[in-house]
Amino acid sequence: MSMPLGDRPKPLHLYIRTFGCQMNEYDSLRVRRLLAPLGYEPVADIEEADLIFLNTCSVREKAEQKVLSFIGALRRLKERKPHLKIVAAGCVAQQLGEKLLNRFDHLDAVVGTRGVGSIAQVLEKIELEGVRSVCMPEENPPEPDEGGREMFGSGDLTAPVTVMQGCNNFCTYCIVPYVRGPERSRPVADILHEIECLEASGVREVLLLGQNVNSYGSGLSDRITFAGLIRRIAENTGILRIRFTTSHPKDLTDDLMGCFAGVDKLCKHLHLPVQSGSDAVLARMRRRYTASDYMAKVERLRSICPDIALTSDVIVGFPGETGEDFRKTMDLLERVRFDNLFSFRYSDRPGTQAAGFADKVDPKIGLQRLIELQAYQAEVTQQKNLAEIGLVREVLVEGASKASNGQMSGRTTHNRIVNFDAPSDLCGKIQRVEITGAYSHSLKGDIMGWVDDSACPETNILNRKVLTFPKPC
Ligand code: SAH
Ligand code: SF4
Ligand code: F3S
């Protein structure tokens, strides 16, 4: 018998693999924080792991298949390292529960989307009782104490913060309400506390998360809206930048739109999934807005904040989508000209209403539509990136560029990636960068000067002083 994890020399190596959306990214971060006091340190190489934590996604069939084949491939590793523990969490775990444990006998535990906070107890159970287990609470268990501020020191400059979970919308294609449960908002004080801890650990930008952040506040004793929460964070914390995702168009209020002009720390970017430009398709999707309702919101947003960046999600090949319906989606894209777009071919999800709809679109036609739409959008994104050349943008320096060309990288308020030459000690500072080049997924630029945020009251970034900085040759 191999030595139990608890008796093995510390640190123990934790390998986390996250599939799916930022909700899962956030849950994975929590697991890292919760397991740190038990002696777990994250590792990048799966071969070194004592514990593998998989956070899974089931939003489309392809995503689920990817997860299942990844789990299958871990059998070999487990055979070579019998002390290795493997835990599958997230949306596939929630959806399949015990079936997942039965299908893969090398899995040690399956943890549902509301069980992430109990990860330490799940591990203890595996260790002490030596049994494989399923942890699928119906309700979120009381939030475990994630310890003091030191727990938040991951070294990141940007961090996700979940403000609400779950969804009550039940769009007919979507599995999320089934795997994430009904909407629950977190109390304001918890959110502010978490952001203060993150700020103390060096975080400069937060991404507020929820399946539908616009519903934030319902069910809370705090009597607060999402716009109110943004203002509280801007006024009561020293965080430099706030972003959020995702907003349902039907619930986008004037008050929230007003924040893009009235709250300086709120980045000028809104992800507003439209899904389709055809009213008939939108009705069958149960989105509860029409294409003209959506356009009216876009126009209002642009009148409030003319240079706001807009991104969206689109599904093509939804059951019953005709060629004419698809043209209406293309018309809408042409009218809005999104800065960027995430587009998907419709995928049947078990248990959703649309899975039972007749008139499924031939997958080949779906693919053709996707290719046409993506080609069009790639052109628009490129044109929008080219239009940035010559402009000076404020960029939060986040670290070394992924292109590994020795440059640094950061994002503009509009969420465009910019690469530029800069010393690494400028990480976490907001830079003024002149855009000098544009590619399909990023920009390049030259630093103009750096913004000294230590020279002004923490809560008022409007007072920041711009210092000149010699341009690298
Ligand atoms: N809460 C977010 C979306 C979460 S899922 C919102 O309401 O906007 C992310 C995206 O996946 C969706 O916006 C949709 O475009 C896509 N998606 C969801 N279910 C899908 C399915 N069954 N087939 C294809 N795409 C899907
Ligand atoms: Fe899914 Fe619709 Fe809820 Fe978004 S709003 S998570 S698409 S059901
Ligand atoms: Fe996927 Fe679950 Fe997010 S299904 S998209 S990981 S909420």
CATH number at residue 41: 3.40.50.12160
Dist. CA 383 → ligand 2 center (Å): 30
Domain co-membership, 154 together with 299? yes
Domain boundary among 345, 368, 386: 386
Among 365, 386, 407, the domain-final residue is: 386
CA of 275 to the centre of ligand 1 (A): 8
The verdict on 39 and 98 lying in the same domain is yes
Range of the domain at 9: 5-135
Q: Is 71 among the domain residues?
A: yes
Tell which one of 212, 245, 312, 313 to mutate to probe ligand 2, the residue whose CB is within 8 A of the most ligand atoms. Answer: 212
Is residue 473 one of the residues assigned to a domain? no
Separation of alpha carbons 227 and 454, rounded Å: 27
| Average pLDDT value for residue range 111-135 | 91
| pLDDT at 128 exceeding the cut of 90 | no
Does any domain span residue 143? no
Q: Identify whether residues 235 and 360 lie together within a single domain.
A: yes
pLDDT of 449 above 70? no
CA of 167 to the centre of ligand 2 (A): 6
Total count of domains within the chain: 3
Q: Decide if 429 contacts 454 (C-beta within 8 A).
A: no
pLDDT higher than 60, residue 396: yes
pLDDT of residue 406: 85
Mean pLDDT on 455-464: 36
- Position 145 scores a pLDDT of 52
- Tell whether 274 is covered by a domain: yes
Asked whether the predicted pLDDT for residue 6 surpasses 70, the reply is no
Has residue 306 been placed in a domain?
yes
Whether 472 is covered by a domain: the verdict is no
pLDDT average, residue stretch 264-268: 97
* Residue among 215, 344, 348, 357 whose CB has most ligand 1 atoms within 8 A, to mutate: 344
Q: Kindly state if the Cβ of 59 falls inside 6 Å of ligand 3.
A: yes
Q: Give 59 Cα–ligand 1 centroid separation in angstroms.
A: 7
Q: Are residues 159 and 307 in the same domain?
A: yes
Are 249 and 327 part of one and the same domain? yes
CA–CA separation, 421 and 402 (whole Å)? 13
Confidence bin at 115 (pLDDT 50/70/90): very high
Q: Which whole number is the average pLDDT over 413-431? A: 93
User: Scanning the structure block, which residue is given the tokens 């040759």?
Assistant: 473
| Strands of 119-197, DSSP E | 133-135, 158-162, 164-165, 184-185
Q: Is 88 among the domain residues? A: yes
Using the CB atoms, write b or e for 157-188: b if 16+ within 10 Å. Answer: bbbbbbbbbbbebebbbbbbbbbbbebbbbeb
Average pLDDT over residues 432-452: 87
Asked if residue 256 and residue 126 are part of one domain, the reply reads no
Do 333 and 255 reside in the same domain of the chain? yes
User: Residues of 367-376 as b/e, b for ≥16 C-beta within 10 angstroms?
Assistant: eebbeebeee
**pLDDT above 90: residue 468:** no
| 380 and 410 together in one domain | no
120 falls within a domain = yes
Angle at 369 between CA 367 and CA 370, to 5 degrees: 65
272 lines ligand 3 (CB under 6 A): no
Whether 203 and 334 share a structural domain: yes
Q: What pTM does this model have? A: 0.91
pLDDT of residue 130: 84
Distances from the Cα of 76 to the Cαs of 53, 73, 82, 395, in angstroms? 16, 7, 10, 45
The pLDDT mean for the chain works out to: 90
**Rg of the chain in Å (alpha carbons):** 23
Instruction: Over range 51-62, report the average pLDDT.
Output: 97
pLDDT at residue 226 greater than cutoff 70: yes
Predicted confidence at residue 49, as pLDDT, reads 97
Ligand 1 centroid, distance to 173 Cα (angstroms): 8
Judge if 282 and 401 occupy the same domain.
no
pLDDT band for 455, please (50, 70, 90 cuts).
very low
Q: What is the pLDDT of residues 130-147, one digit of tens each?
A: 889 899 887 765 555 555
Percent of the chain residues topping a pLDDT of 70: 90
Q: Please give the average per-residue pLDDT across 421-439, as a whole number.
A: 93
User: pLDDT at position 458, please?
Assistant: 35
When pLDDT is averaged across residues 255-276 and rounded to a whole number, the result is 98
312 and 441 in a common domain: no
* Closest protein CA for atom 3 of ligand 3: 21
Q: Do 335 and 320 touch, CB atoms closer than 8 A?
A: no
126 lies in the same domain as 184: no
Which of the ligands is closest to the CA of residue 162? 3
Query: For the chain, what percentages of helix, strand and coil (3-state, to nearest 5) are there?
Result: 40, 25, 40
Across residues 358-369, what is the average pLDDT? 97
Domain end marker among 370, 386, 402: 386
Nearest to 67 by CA among 80, 49, 53, 51: 53
